[in-house]
A and B are shown apart, each in its own frame.
Chain A
């Protein structure tokens, strides 16, 4: 009985420790930036996957698909650069 109560109390404490560690992890980079970074990462991954698909299908009309892929890549790089500039302005102040 005693040990059960102690165990419950320790569980409660462990849960508060868990959430407090999570809260501390929110203090680093602003969350919105972390989300943007995650989205950019996802888009880069999708682009790479598409490139793989294009290269795998050699018999179809490659030129058209390749052109579209390049456009998307350019758009991605543009977004990435804008994001990097915004971050530099906020974090480094220049």
Chain B
């Protein structure tokens, strides 16, 4: 049951990766310049790829008994969120970009994921109630599924706003 779940998550992850890359290419073709949404998608795609590579190793480590191994799993994901948010922030600063609502949304999602990791680790390390485990298991998967449609929505809304402003000026 558990393994089947994990296999489903992996197959979702590979589709997700393809969708992210496609989204990035489409955004690049439409925007034709480095904008906030491009930076966001770039970091998202790179992060997704590296996390796909790391997941198997981390999962094997996490299956071993002992809190340190559990910490490696939770710590890596929290670090992954931190690095993603930091890189998005850094690129916005260096390229002097204005943060779009898509970038803000992604950083918020990453923050929520990091919070999930922290809460579940604290739960496992101290009381081991496993109340939060269900939220953890499904919350992150559902959250990841939400990212693409929401980013698409924010991106299209921004494009629409831009067009609207141009017409108003003319």
- List the A side residues contacting B126 at CB < 8 Å: 2, 6
Give the interface residue-count category, chain B.
35 or more
Are B78 and A6 in contact (CB-based, < 8 A)?
no
Once A6-B122, A9-B121 are accepted as A-B contacts, the answer to whether A24 and B99 lie under 8 Å apart by CB is yes
Number of interface residues of A (CB under 8 A): 24
Contact A10–B118 (Cβ < 8 Å): yes
- The reply to whether the CB of A20 lies closer than 8 angstroms to some CB of chain B is yes
Nearest CB of chain B from residue A46's CB, rounded to whole Å? 24
Chain B hits for A60, CB < 8 A = none
Q: Does B25 contact A (CB under 8 A)?
A: no
Quick check: B98 and A9 within 8 Å, CB to CB?
Answer: no
**B-contact bits for A1-18, CB 8 A (1 contact / 0 none):** 110011011101101110
CB-defined contacts of A9 to chain B, threshold 8 Å:
71, 74-75, 78, 117-118, 121-122
Residues of B that sit less than 8 Å from A by CB: 67-68, 71, 74-75, 78-79, 81-82, 85-86, 88-89, 92-93, 96-101, 103-104, 107-108, 110-111, 114-115, 117-118, 121-122, 125-126, 165, 168-169
Q: State whether B81 touches A16 (Cβ < 8 A).
A: yes
- Interface on A for B, CB 8 Å cutoff? 1-2, 5-6, 8-10, 12-13, 15-17, 19-20, 22-24, 26-27, 29-32, 93
Q: List 29 A-B contacts (CB under 8 A).
A: A5-B67, A6-B122, A6-B126, A9-B118, A9-B122, A10-B118, A12-B114, A13-B78, A13-B114, A13-B118, A16-B82, A16-B110, A16-B114, A19-B86, A20-B85, A23-B92, A24-B99, A24-B107, A26-B89, A26-B93, A26-B97, A26-B99, A27-B100, A27-B101, A30-B98, A31-B93, A31-B97, A31-B98, A93-B168
